[in-house]
Amino acid sequence: MIIAMKRGTVKEKIQQFAAYLEQRGVKIHFSEGASQTVLGLVGDTTGVDEEALRAHHLVEKVIRVQEPYKRVNRLFHPEDTRIDTIGPDGEIRHIGAGYLGIIAGPCSVESREQIVTVAAEVKQAGAGFLRGGAFKPRTSPYSFQGLGNEGLTLLLEAKKETGLPIVSELMDIHHLDAFNEVDIIQIGARNMQNFTLLKELSLCRKPILLKRGLASTIKELLMAAEYLAAGGNGRIILCERGIRTFENYTRNTLDLAAIPALKKESHLPVIVDPSHATGLSWMVPTLAKAAVAAGADGIMVEVHNNPETALCDGEQSLTPKEFGDLMEILQKYAAIEMRSIGTDKL
């Protein structure tokens, strides 16, 4: 960070100001011109409040050289981060650093029969993780809200029967205890900037699947991830799930450019959810392929035993057969790119 002091500021005031900054954990490099002094802040500037500096009466200009996200920044961690989970079947599954994570399952857990059947089918097709919402963020209070704790119990049964690790959305920190055996906690688009929730989750050690907000920028997504990492939880998977634009042919607009952008800026794995991005099941395989071709570290796809009767998001859900066909193609894509969908057996 570079701070240009106001012209004519006396040396003594500048020294006091520099001492104040040093207390915030940075070193100061002074550059004294004929009428103006410029301070270069070296080191970790996370303790420095940029807004407050801009408002300071001695400061003319503040220029940021580095991004405000530090822990999730690739500059601070050049290698790709890999997220590992161990399923009850004893297989270690990876997401990132050359491994594609394939997460599949229904939007919501609806019944034991539904979740156990679809879990077996997506596993058979090659999915590495089972998804299923128990607590659902619905636009209307009159829509199906998910089965809550009962949904999690059923999801755990499907986990036990198939051996697949599970992914489910947490909306309220008070539910955290019930997520004890959930392998990856999903933070949905609507909660991406729920900073209280992010701070609480930064204290837990489970991987967090952080979905991009409906109208959030790439930087805002990275800053949300920074909240998790700053509190001590660096096990983060970023998820592009489409953003709001003027286009309404699709439910959202899939921002494919976010994949290389996020991967350039951050070392964290980036996956894509083509289901919520499009809202149209027929478009999902095409965009899943595009996401993998654009460098995504995996996909999360909604799959329902019978999309026509789904209690939530049936229109965007693949049938198990359609998912199986997609997996066959993704296996080929992965092979061409020398990436692996596979797992390491213990």
Binding residues vs Mn ion (CB under 5 A): 107, 313
Q: How far is the CB of 253 from ligand PEP (least distance, A)?
A: 13
CA distance 187 to 207: 11
- Alpha-carbon separation of residue 301 from 22, 104, 127, 207 (angstroms): 49, 5, 10, 18
- DSSP string covering 46-91, please? GGS-HHHHHH-TTEEEEE--S-S--TTBGGG--SPP-EEEE-TTSE
Question: Cα 95 to the chain's mean position, in Å?
Answer: 12
Q: Does the footprint of ligand PEP cover residue 107 (CB under 6 A)? A: yes
Q: How far is the CB of 254 from ligand PEP (least distance, A)?
A: 12
Q: Which is nearer to Mn ion, 226 or 313 (CB)?
A: 313
Token pair of 80 as six digits: 């790709």
Site residue total, ligand PEP (CB under 6 A): 11
Interface segment toward ligand PEP; rule CB under 6 A; list 139-147, 188-196, 218-226, 264-272: 188-196
Residue 189 touches which member of Mn ion, ligand PEP, none, C-beta under 5-8 Å by kind: ligand PEP
Q: Which of 188, 207, 269, 285 binds ligand PEP (CB under 6 A)?
A: 188
Name the residue among 54, 52, 65 with its Cα closest to residue 5.
54
Residue 90 touches which member of ligand PEP, Mn ion, none, C-beta under 5-8 Å by kind: none
Cα atoms in the Cβ-side hemisphere of radius 13 Å centred on 303: 33
Residue 207 touches which member of Mn ion, ligand PEP, none, C-beta under 5-8 Å by kind: none
Q: Does the footprint of ligand PEP cover residue 304 (CB under 6 A)? A: no
Q: How far is the CB of 208 from ligand PEP (least distance, A)?
A: 13
Q: Which of 41, 154, 178, 189 binds ligand PEP (CB under 6 A)?
A: 189
Q: For residues 56-85, which are near ligand PEP according to CB under 6 A? A: none
CA distance 165 to 178: 15
Pattern 264-283, ligand PEP, x by CB under 6 A: ---------x--x-------
Q: How far is the CB of 178 from Mn ion (least distance, A)?
A: 20
Q: Does the footprint of ligand PEP cover residue 285 (CB under 6 A)? A: no
Name the residue among 202, 259, 210 with its Cα closest to residue 234.
202
- Single-letter code of the amino acid located at 82: R
Q: For residues 213-242, which are near ligand PEP according to CB under 6 A? A: 241
Token pair of 82 as six digits: 């890999």
Interface segment toward ligand PEP; rule CB under 6 A; list 2-10, 43-51, 171-179, 184-192: 184-192
**Count of CB atoms situated within 10 Å of the CB of 18:** 20
Token pair of 125 as six digits: 């097709």
| CB-based closest residue to ligand PEP | 188
Count Cβ atoms within 10 A of the Cβ of residue 284 and give its class: 0-12 exposed, 13-18 middle, 19 or more buried: buried
